[in-house]
Amino acid sequence: MSKVAIITGAGSGLGQATALRLAEEGVNIAVVDVNEEGGNETVEMVKKAGADALFVKADVSKPEEVKNYVDQTVEKFGTIDYFFNNAGISGSGQFYLDTDISEIEKIVGINLLGALYGVRYVAEVMVKNGGGAIVNTSSSAGVTGQDSVVTYSATKHGIVGLTKSMVAEYAKDGLRVNAIAPGPTETPMVKEFYEANPEMKENATGGIPQKRLGTPEEVAELVTFLLTSKAQYVNGEVIRIDGGFTNTK
């Protein structure tokens, strides 16, 4: 029987690349995104790769919409084996004291509350069914302090706490929860951020020992490994994938 994965933020970037990589493994995908065009594009790509897919439009900052994407996945596929808890936004890049309260609320709502809601409803299904694997998307800004992204960094540090504490409570129930901490990666979100803050791209690339940004496909390989049976004894880890960017920080 085919495995089933939910991926949030699956309409582009890391989510889309991971959907395609998992589809190559025969995993059926619930594609979750607020962007209908991108989400439907991912569905078609997954189907072309030979797996089945469902698109659910959702604003992950709203718990009722999170519960809906979980319910729709179970209704269509019967279960949830894997969850890539990935949806997120970066913000404007302004220093914290220049940041509007509305922006702070939006970033926290999507990045942190959205992740908490997702784990809440997905893990409930997984524990009931005997277990499952979750990968949460943190960031290099979730393992170090970085300027211009204070709110984003705070939410991504929160993802680390979510990951470790869920393992403390539910590993005994068959749940595996890990996090990835990507550095600057060639995703639409990062490209948009650097277009608005070009000096930061130069600084970031210069600070990466490998002297390039990561690719979504490289991150997708790591997520696939962590979700699947190849990583059965990896639990509660926060794995950096950043070309050495945070190696000395």
- Profile the chain (249 residues) by mean pLDDT over runs of 10 residues: 97 98 98 98 98 98 98 98 98 95 98 98 98 98 95 98 98 98 86 71 75 94 96 98 86
CA–CA separation, 175 vs 169, rounded Å? 9
CA–CA separation, 208 vs 218, rounded Å? 16
Q: Is 145 left (phi over 0), alpha (psi -120 to 50) or beta?
A: beta
CA–CA separation, 155 vs 142, rounded Å? 8
In this predicted structure, what is the pLDDT of residue 201? 65
Determine the structural domain holding residue 50 and report its residue range: 4-241
| Residue 72: CATH number of its domain | 3.40.50.720
CA–CA separation, 239 vs 179, rounded Å? 6
* 142 lies in some domain: yes
Structure tokens at 242: 């950043």
* 140 lies in some domain: yes
Which CA distances in Å does 173 have to 78, 95, 115, 116, 130? 19, 42, 20, 19, 7
Number of domains in the chain: 1
**For the whole model, what pTM was predicted?**
0.94
Confirm whether 233 is a catalytic residue. Answer: no
* 103 lies in some domain: yes
Q: Residue 148: helix, strand or coil by DSSP?
A: coil
In this predicted structure, what is the pLDDT of residue 5? 99
First to last CA, the chain: 44
**Candidate list 152, 170, 194, 233, residue with the active-site label:** 152
* 248 lies in some domain: no
Distance from chain centroid for Cα 23: 17
DSSP state of 212: S
* 38 lies in some domain: yes
CA–CA separation, 211 vs 190, rounded Å? 16
In this predicted structure, what is the pLDDT of residue 211? 85
In this predicted structure, what is the pLDDT of residue 204? 67
* 249 lies in some domain: no
List the 175-182 sheet strands across, edge first: 53-57, 28-33, 4-8, 82-85, 132-137, 175-182, 238-241
* 52 lies in some domain: yes
* 246 lies in some domain: no
In this predicted structure, what is the pLDDT of residue 249? 62
Structure tokens at 50: 């030979």
Distance from chain centroid for Cα 70: 16
Which CA distances in Å does 116 have to 60, 68, 98, 217, 237? 10, 15, 27, 26, 17
